[in-house]
Amino acid sequence: MINLEHVSKTFDTASGNVHAVKDVSLHIEPGEIFGIIGFSGAGKSTLVRCINLLERPTSGRVIVDGQDLLELNEKELRAVRKKIGMIFQHFNLMQSRTVAQNIAFPLKGSGLSKAEIAQKIDSLLELVDLKDKANAYPSQLSGGQKQRVAIARAMANDPKVLLCDEATSALDPQTTQSILKLLKEVNERMGITIVLITHEMAVIKDVCHKVAVMENGCVVETGEIVEVFTHTKHQVTKNFIETTSSVSRIHELMAQDSPICRLKAGEVLVQLKYDANNASEALISKISRDYQVDTNIIFGNIEVIRHTPIGDLIVIFSGSKEGIDQAVECLKTNHVSVEVLKQ
């Protein structure tokens, strides 16, 4: 649906050239929810603006739905933009218009009759669950409601693509969840391709099928979400994943010599990482039965991402030296990664 080929964007500023996006190539399939994550300044907002040419790339090609957007004239580009909805961090609703008028904004000149427009607004309001707010002004709405209006407005021309620029970053966690749920619904019900920019790994984890991680204008890692979570390649990605899990705290606790990680003789502190391939097996019971190794789970983090449970456990093994070694071997053969933290 969207093909970015060697897209670069350089801004000329007073203090020299800023390379916001450097040679990025991405392929986004129809019907996919594609996440782009990066810290602020990583170039993700610029990149998403290159998809509808709010920013014209300095070089490269932008192909949306088979059309090379850089070859279109202004008028053709405007027509294409109507099929690429966009929502923003700060909603960008017009204060002088009611909810219904905001949603009707992009429908002017669409050739629809007044009655058709009214019907369209009605169904969009129903979609975003704001039927009772049709005549309210944006200033009377909460942040989450404003973003719902923005989504309805972005959907007015039945777009094939929806670009979300930090759409949940200004919202509280609960509202974020409800907006993400709505985006998922829109994606599943209407098959809209969604490109979602965020700095929160939790958002990516909740809704995305694929993810690209950006740093300093480059995409450093990209792939299926489960793959990226279980076989993380790049340090930036690891940092992001750590933000969603409590497991990294073990290093802190060890440094502080916390009582929970003090070991008795014969005990070993280990971190176990497992994914879909082994989560369903009763490995901990197995090692306790076969090697007489007791497992004390200190803490852990287990997630279900795209119907795949993946997780980390921090555990203390106690048993004979031999038994523990065999247990570790057994886990490794079952593709659980074992890292001994302290002996």
Partner 1 sequence: MMTWIEQNLPHIYIILPELPESILQTLQMIFIPGVISFVFGIFFGVILIVTRKGGILQNKLVFSILDKVINLLRAVPFVILMSLLDPVSRAVMGTTIGVDGAYIALIIGTVPFFARQIESVLAEVNFGLIEASQSMGASPREIIFRVYLHESIPGITRATTITIISLIGLTAIAGAIGAGGLGDMAIRYGYNRHQIDVTYVTVFLILIIISIIQGIGDYIIKKTTH
Provide the binding-site residues for partner 1, judged by CB under 8 A. Answer: 52, 54, 74, 78-82, 84-86, 88, 90, 92, 94-97, 105-106, 108, 137-139, 150, 153-154, 157, 163
Rama region for 170: left / alpha / beta (φ>0; ψ in -120 to 50; rest):
alpha
Give CA separation, 226 vs 186, 206, 263, 301, 335, in Å. Answer: 22, 11, 34, 15, 16
CB of 86 to partner 1, least distance (A): 4
The CA radius of gyration of the chain, in Å to the nearest whole number, is 25
CB of 146 to partner 1, least distance (A): 12
Q: Are 270 and 341 in contact (CB under 8 A)?
A: yes
Q: Which residues contact 107 (CB under 8 A, 6 or more apart)?
A: 117, 120, 156, 157
Give CA separation, 114 vs 85, 119, 157, 188, in Å. Answer: 22, 9, 15, 29
CB of 164 to partner 1, least distance (A): 12
CB closer to partner 1 out of 86 and 207: 86
CB closer to partner 1 out of 28 and 150: 150
CB closer to partner 1 out of 54 and 279: 54
CB of 90 to partner 1, least distance (A): 6
The β-bridge relationship of strands 161-165 and 84-87 is: parallel
CB closer to partner 1 out of 36 and 163: 163
CB of 329 to partner 1, least distance (A): 56
CB closer to partner 1 out of 76 and 281: 76
Pair of tokens at residue 327:
């247990």
